[in-house]
């Protein structure tokens, strides 16, 4: 299989990837789904992928590790807690240390927007953004596109409603770019305090009536209320949030039969999604996690092994 010319040796954002790159990675993901590409089985043999997680994660970190191992690579995992960062080592020196250990690729999560891009300027191995501040989470957007595509086919013309903390969400930022790139119509619904300042420039519709929007949508994508990024009082209370913005069973009844319920995880049960809703057949949250391994295999394969 020939490598698409994606213009960069890193994966830092969906916009840098472009429509051609996005479609190519979704194509590779589909090739990994169900069966291995024969030439990919040992694609990362002799290669080392380092995960550098300066912010907590379960899904992203473990799925990068699983993806590396599926392709016969080695994984070095470094979390901020327990690393020499607690003795004052800088991120630059930490990166240098990982390179000295013959790392072939860095997967970076950081609470500061732009940290993976800065690291990419220091090194000559591929850097993958595994989530930076409120900025971007490109592999999450890829796995979400793939999950929607595997249920509903081509995203072109689909209606996707994103509900919740748009303001602080790197997932929303990356997903909106990716969904629109694939031709979906994206709308958002959120408390006014959790909308970004320049929403007009995002090319999305702002929903006023939640129930009507639920009736029309093909996908409802719920965002986590990010208590850790809220240094001001953005919400009166979580109970209040659930009352007006949470997907309750009563609200889920407005959805069409085929409509998907999605959430990047981790979920706040009883806040953005009710327990019974998370268990519905159309709630594909665990499938999103499983697809995360396939998507990350595709990304690693593309950056480290795919032929030009």
The helix/strand/coil state of 74 is strand
Nearest CB to ligand CP, comparing residues 14 and 43: 14
- In angstroms, the Cα distances linking 90 to 54, 80, 124 are 12, 11, 19
CB 59 within 8 Å of CB 66: no
In the complex, the residues that contact ligand CP under the rule CB under 6 A are 57-60, 131, 140, 264-266
Q: How far is the CB of 128 from ligand CP (least distance, A)?
A: 13
Q: How far is the CB of 275 from ligand CP (least distance, A)?
A: 19
Q: How far is the CB of 52 from ligand CP (least distance, A)?
A: 14
Nearest CB to ligand CP, comparing residues 94 and 226: 226
Nearest CB to ligand CP, comparing residues 15 and 56: 56
Nearest CB to ligand CP, comparing residues 18 and 265: 265
Q: How far is the CB of 69 from ligand CP (least distance, A)?
A: 17
CA distance 284 to 287: 5
Question: 10: part of which helix (H) or strand (E)?
Answer: none
- In angstroms, the Cα distances linking 291 to 160, 179, 195, 295, 297 are 19, 17, 29, 6, 10
Among 291, 308, 296, smallest CA distance to 151 is for 291
Nearest CB to ligand CP, comparing residues 134 and 207: 134
Q: How far is the CB of 105 from ligand CP (least distance, A)?
A: 18
């Amino acid at each position: 299989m020939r490598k698409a010319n994606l213009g960069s040796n890193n994966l830092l954002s969906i916009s840098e990837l472009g429509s051609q790159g996005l479609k190519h990675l979704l194509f590779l993901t589909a090739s990994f789904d169900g069966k291995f590409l024969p030439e990919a089985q040992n694609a990362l043999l002799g290669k080392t992928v380092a995960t550098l997680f300066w912010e907590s994660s379960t899904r992203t970190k473990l799925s990068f590790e699983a993806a590396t191992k599926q392709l016969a690579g080695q994984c070095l995992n470094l979390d901020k807690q327990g690393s020499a960062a607690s003795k004052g080592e800088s991120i630059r020196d930490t990166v240098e240390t990982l390179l000295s250990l013959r790392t072939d690729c860095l997967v970076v999560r950081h609470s500061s927007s732009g940290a993976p891009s800065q690291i990419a300027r220091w090194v000559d191995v591929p850097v993958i953004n595994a989530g930076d501040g409120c900025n971007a989470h490109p592999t999450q957007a890829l796995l979400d596109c793939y999950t929607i595509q595997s249920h509903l086919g081509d995203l072109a013309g689909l209606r996707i409603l994103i509900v919740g903390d748009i303001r602080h969400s790197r997932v929303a930022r990356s997903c909106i770019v990716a969904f629109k790139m694939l031709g979906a119509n994206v709308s958002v619904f959120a408390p006014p305090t959790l909308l970004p300042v320049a929403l007009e420039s995002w090319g999305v519709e702002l929903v006023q009536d939640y129930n009507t929007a639920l009736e029309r949508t093909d996908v409802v994508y719920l965002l986590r209320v990010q208590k850790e990024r809220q240094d001001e009082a953005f919400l009166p209370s979580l109970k209040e949030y659930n009352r007006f913005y949470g997907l309750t069973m009563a609200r889920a009844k407005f959805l069409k039969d085929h409509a998907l319920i999605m959430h990047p995880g981790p979920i706040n049960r009883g806040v953005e999604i009710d327990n019974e809703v998370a268990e519905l057949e159309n709630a594909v949250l665990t499938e999103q996690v499983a697809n995360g391994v396939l998507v990350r295999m595709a990304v690693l394969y593309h950056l480290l092994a795919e032929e030009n």
